[in-house]
Structure 1
Amino acid sequence: MGNPHILAIPYPAQGHVIPLMELSHRLVDHGFSITFVNTDFNHKRVRDSFGDRVEDECSIRLVSIPDGMEPGEDRNHLGKLTDGITNVMPPELRKLLKKINGVGDDKISYVIADVNMGWALDIAAEFEIPGVAFWPASAFLLALLFSTDKLLDDQVIDEHGTPINGKNMIQLCPNTPAMHPKNFLWVCLGDLTTQKKIFEFARRNNKAVENVEWLICNTTFDLEPGAFSLIPEILPIGPLLANNQHEPLTGSFWPEDETCLKWLDQQRPGSVIYVAFGSFTVFDPIQFQELALGLEHLNRPFLWVVRPDMTEGTRCEELYPKGFKARVGSRGKMVGWAPQRAVLAHPSIACFISHCGWNSTVEGLSNRVPFLCWPYFADQFINETYICEIWKIGLSFKRDEREIITREEIKSKIEQLVNDESFKEKALKLKGLVMNSVDENGSSNRIFKNFIEWMKS
């Protein structure tokens, strides 16, 4: 038998594709061959952002299946996306597996599926292919998803996942983030119809991962000891990026603008405010302008990632305050998408204004960068609590009566964070813990080696 051939399938969102791509590169380093399955829509984005280098440089075979949505439809509409994932993708994956396994000797030996694509593990079982569940976010978020039965029994939520008494914070166990039920993953993703769909979808996924031999997670024991006391069957092998071999194919949906690295080279060490909100956050025009003015009034250099689709209904170019670009001049650098890992590793970065997605969170703490937290939805509120209250490496913003974070608040919190050495000291200590976990004898590295041995046997 040759080296095992793995089919990897992420949930179709940027924060899920990148960590599974990272894991795939690590597996290629150990001699595995990988077929990576994106949706047709995301496959095109990844290939377009990677450019002509796909065929020459990529050790991972990129393939795709439809997601059931029309080309122009909004993939951020999670209700519609969930319908497509549930109804259209399973038969398409069956067809793909039949096709691959019907030709030659290079049959699929394992399926590694995002926990949010639990149905893919059921299909792997139909084909008698061993399945592995991969969780790209915090172990605590998975513990919350696995706790839905208990939350129903305790009457925290009703049968649709709606909070019954939404006033009180809840904590699943000591040393884990306390949460407001309105921020439960399925509640904060949209209207009631979408919420019901996502809640049911999550419960079906919980069922699908019950029988897998390996449930691996992109985190480490040291970051989340409380979460592992809740679900000891999760095996942490991360953070995957802490090994930081630079791979040309990251799985990014947008081309990375590398000019910002040259600009960072010209800035003083520890002077630059890095501002990036991931692939999903959308701003209303007033909030976008307040952020711009907050950065302008700081009189510090800043690097701001402004996605083309970051504001509601209006192009960002038209929303910058009048004269903003001329006034900030070369002190401000705006890019459409950044090579974030290289940016956060750069010595000129002082702090990170972030939406607190899990990838951004572990990238920041793997580079000892303190945070200013600006969560938008999903698990980002949990990660904000980790950053500010448990690890104490960052601060939250307060919103005014309009739910806006004002320019004054932005300026004041940045100054508070960068002028307080204790945040940098704690961030440095946390970086040490994270790096130890992926070192030769670290806990994550030992689990990863056992995982490799299991797959090779």
Structure 2
Amino acid sequence: METQQDPCKLPRNGRRVILFPLPFQGHINPMLQLGSILYSEGFSITIIHTTLNSPNSCNYPHFEFCSFSDDGFSETYQPSKVADDIPALLLSLNAKCIVPFRDCLANKLMSNAQESKDSFACLITDAAWFIALSVANDFKLPTIVLLTDSIAASLSYAAFPILREKGYLPIQDFQLEAPVIEFPPLRVKDIPLLKTQDSNNADKFLSIRDNQIMASSGIIWNSFEDLEQVELTTVHQQYYLSIPVFPIGPFHKYFPAYSSSLLSQDQSSISWLDRQAPRSVIYVSFGSIAAINEIEFLEIAWGLANSRVPFLWVVRPGLGRGAEWLEPLPKGFLEMVDGRGYIVKWAPQQQVLAHPAVGCFWTHSGWNSTMESICEGIPMICQPYFADQMVNSRYVSHVWRVGLHLEGKLEREGIERAIRRVMVEADGQGMRERAMYLKEKVDICLQRGGSSYQSLGRLTDHILSL
């Protein structure tokens, strides 16, 4: 359901929504996409954000942007170490930002009242900003939560108390392959643990996060009913019983892509793809946070080279631990794969996945990447690293069956087999057919009368009623 309407000419409804994104790539993108969707429904949009990883306001001239200082958090922030202790990082970020966020919100509400602008309908916050609900409550501003995970992963986090009670947590090595009876198809090793130095931090963060969700006025997911119908039923019946939920995804398919990337996108990747045969290229990208050691980096490189399949590989600075960029590659590697392999620091991923030359996506299984691949009917090779990526990978390989999960030690022979299985062998044909079926479901859900179209209508009515 893409539209080319000029946003500045869309009718307004006199109501303004404040959006509060978490300052990381995988969280900023869906929040800004959501802002564009709500703007198309007549709402005026204000983005409140930290100075850390500020979004580019020039790409959204019809939005109002208000920033606040993170009280020194950015001075100690190290992007390459984000995944090392996510709970500690998020607890620290929330603690540093509660006062400046409160001041920013107060100033915005006051100036808006003085200038007699659109009245504020609600605050939509990323679920990881657990300070947002209490601050908004002080101003009697209703809060809706955006969950940037899949519905399945969100349920897995909500179920941590049950998983602990049933003896799955803390995880023991001998349990790893055991099924989680209460949450098929997950195994114990697929439980989305947050790596941390202190398990109390993880429990504290997830508890506060879930309390905010339970006390909110609604939940928005970047997913759609046909993809996660069973999980959505579980939401209604077992977890967020009295909270309205709105699966209105996939967000990025409502409008032509606006760039909210924190990294500069190398458009030469598209011109390289233009020279490749249809469905011949494997696209490789492990997202904006994951870091790998030198041995893994080399195994990936040789696995790609030995597969004899053309590849587009995103190697962002910091992907290889201790390396600036491509230093770990063996001498002569780039010359050996010249013409068949192309390496960039960052790519315009949505354009890449929509390109006819791409036949497979080797991914870290972040939810945005997973959804973007599903939307284009591209099968996946999943190499999850942490958190919800484990759940997403399991669903890709064993529920939707549109890809396979690389498990165990990362070795070039296994990589080569996986690539050829998806790109060349019969298994891959079945994955492609199922992926194209899901792509058709995406197109239907966004059309008039489709599930996401209807869910967006309910969300619009809900916000107007607050």
Describe how 1:364-383 pairs up with structure 2 within 5 A. Answer: 364-383=373-392
Q: After TM superposition, list the pairs within 5 Å mapping 1:56-135 onto structure 2.
A: 58-67=61-70, 68-75=72-79, 76=82, 77-103=85-111, 104-106=115-117, 108-135=120-147
1:226 to 2:230 alignment: yes
What is the distance in 2 between the residues matched to 1:238 and 1:383? 16
Task: State the distance in 1 between where 2:224 and 2:281 align.
Answer: 29
Is the partner of 1:117 in helix, strand or coil? Answer: coil
Q: Aligned to 1:21, what secondary structure does the other structure show?
A: helix
CA separation of 1:229/1:170 partners in 2, compared to 1, >3 Å: closer, same or farther?
farther
Instruction: Work out whether residues 224 and 249 of structure 2, in 8 Å CA contact, stay in contact via their aligned partners in 1.
Output: yes
After TM superposition, the structure 1 = structure 2 runs for residues 273-352 of structure 1, keeping only pairs within 5 Å, are: 273-352=282-361
Letter paired with 1:198: A
- Identity of matched residues, %: 29
Deviates more, 1:258-267 or 1:433-442: 433-442
Provide the aligned C-alpha RMSD in A: 2.1
Aligned equivalent of 1:51: none
Identify the match of residue 418 of structure 1 among 416, 423, 440: 423
| C-alpha separation in 2, matches of 1:255 and 1:172 | 44
Q: Cα distance, 1:150 vs. partner?
A: 2.3
CA contact (8 A) 1:66 1:88 kept: no
TM-score, with length taken from structure 2 = 0.88
SS at match of 2:337: helix
**Do the aligned residues in 2 keep the contact of 1:8 with 1:24 (CA within 8 Å)?**
yes
Query: Distance in 2 between the 1:165 and 1:95 partners?
Result: 47
- Equivalent of residue 31 in structure 1, options 24, 42, 53: 42
State the one-letter code of the partner of 1:443.
S
Q: Which residue number in structure 1 is paired with residue 195 of structure 2?
A: 189
* SS of residue paired to 1:273: strand
Tell me, yes or no, if the aligned pair for 2:361 and 2:381 is still in contact at 8 Å: yes
- 1:397-417 Cα deviation digits (max 9, x unpaired): 243xxx3x1112111111111
Taking the aligned partners of 2:229 and 2:60, their CA distance within structure 1 comes to 39
* Matches of 1:56 and 1:263, distance apart in 2: 26
Question: Which stretches of structure 1, 4 residues or more, deviate above 6 A after TM superposition?
Answer: none
C-alpha distance after superposition, 1:86-108 (max 9, x if no partner): 31211111101111111122353
Tell me the equivalent position of 1:199. Answer: 203
AA aligned opposite 1:38: H
**1:170 CA drift (Å):** 4.3
Q: For residues 143 and 59 of structure 2, what CA distance do their matches in structure 1 show?
A: 30
Distance in 2, matches of 1:345 and 1:331, equals 20
Residue type of the alignment partner of 1:73: Y
TM-score computed with the length of structure 1 as normaliser: 0.89
Q: 1:246 aligns with which of 234, 253, 256?
A: 256
Report the count of equivalent residues: 434
Q: How far does residue 353 in structure 1 lie from its aligned partner after superposition?
A: 0.5
1:164 Cα deviation (Å)?
A: 6.8
Q: Secondary structure at the match of 2:312?
A: strand
TM-aligned CA distance change 1:41 to 1:172, over 3 Å:
farther
The CA deviation string for residues 168-203 of structure 1, in whole angstroms up to 9 with x for no partner, is 6343646x43131x5533x34233x1x321321111
- 1:155 Cα deviation after fit: 3.9
Instruction: Decide whether aligned partners of structure 1 residues 344 and 125 sit closer, same or farther in structure 2, where only a CA change above 3 A counts.
Output: same
In 2, the alpha carbon distance for the partners of 1:259 and 1:165 equals 45
Partner Cα distance (1:85, 1:339) in 2: 29
Q: Does 1:437 align with 2:437?
A: no
Quick one: distance in 2 between partners of 1:339 and 1:237?
23
Q: Distance in 1 between matches of 2:128 and 2:59?
A: 31
Q: Which residue identity is paired with 1:66? A: S
List runs of 5+ in structure 1 lacking aligned partners. 48-53
Q: Do 2:73 and 2:96's aligned partners in 1 also have CA atoms closer than 8 Å?
A: no
SS in 2 for 1:88: helix
